[in-house]
Every structure is written in C-alpha cells, then in structure tokens.
Amino acid sequence: MIRPLTCLCALAALGSGLYLYQSKHAAQLLDKQIEKTAHEAEATREQTRVLQAEWTLLSDPERLRQFADQYLSLKPLQPAQFTSLADLDQRLPTPRAEAPPTPPVAANVPIAVPPQRIAGAADPQATAAATDEPDDAIPLPPVPPSPPGVTPIPA
C-alpha cells in the first residue's frame, strides 16, 4: 500500500517538474527576444555608419564647390560689396509699387462679400458706391427670413 506521504512527494515532484519546464520555456522565449533586439540594434548601428559615410561623401567641400560652380552663378565677395548703414539708402534700388495679384475665381468656392451686401441694402447702386465695387458684381442669393424669436445681428 502506498503511503500518503509518498503520494504527496510524487505530486510535489511532478508539480516542480512542470514549473521548471514552464520557467525554462519562458527563459528561452526571453533569450530569443533579447537576441532579436540585439540583431536589430546592430542593424541600426550598421545603417547609421552607412548613412554617416554617405553624409561625409555628400558634404565633401570640394564636391560642393564643384556643384556650386556648375549650377550656381555665385562669386566670391568683394570689399566693394560691403557698405555702412548711412550709405544703405543710396545703394538700395528704389521700391516699386506692385499691384497685388488677383486670385482666380473657381466654381463652388465661397466669395468674401462686404457686410453691407450681406445685410441686404435696399439700393444696390448705393451699396456698390459705398464699397467701391462695379455694378457687375456677383449677385447674392436672397437672404432667407430668420426664424421667429431670433433677432438678426446688426451689420
């Protein structure tokens, strides 16, 4: 007959073996993850070294000078190019007044309308004269009536 102590010891040995197997498996998974992370870090370091070498090659002063000579019309600074603040207004070109560019009008694009036009002035010629707009301005759709109990905001 098997004693109860022997059964308990067998169950304890079985439980400890199962716990040891699970712990070993978890440790192996962590080792694989650490190895993968180490490989990724090494690949990143190698890529960094390659990019640094490429940057060194691309930013070589002699190479940049050759490109500047080939594609740019830059010349070395001359002492006559320097000036004092007192002589600056004589050396600068006179400013030109340029008309601001008119943006193209596209279909289905809202147009900014002066507040006088929105408020619904009674006389369109008075509105055009007040806003300095020509008579051929874009007509606005009629203003819908406001719901009862709502007071319109004055323009």
**Residue boundaries of the structural domains of the chain:** 4-71
Please determine, for residue 106, whether its predicted confidence score (pLDDT) is greater than 80.
no
Burial label, 1 (beta-carbon count in 10 A; 0-12, 13-18, 19+)? exposed
Mean pLDDT of 112-130: 52
Query: How many other C-beta atoms lie within 10 A of the C-beta of residue 117?
Result: 19
**For residue 155, what are the CA distances in angstroms to 24, 141, 150?**
80, 17, 15
Which phi-psi region, left, alpha or beta, contains residue 149 (left: φ > 0; alpha: ψ -120 to 50)?
Answer: left
Task: With CA atoms as reference, report the closest residue to 110 among 142, 138, 146, 143.
Answer: 138
Looking at per-residue pLDDT, the higher value among 19 and 133 belongs to: 19
Mean pLDDT of 119-123: 51
Looking at per-residue pLDDT, the higher value among 58 and 151 belongs to: 58
Spatial separation of the C-alpha atoms in residues 74 and 31, rounded to whole Å = 59
| pTM of this structure | 0.39
Segment among 17-21, 33-37, 51-55, 62-66 with least mean pLDDT: 62-66
- pLDDT number for residue 39: 97
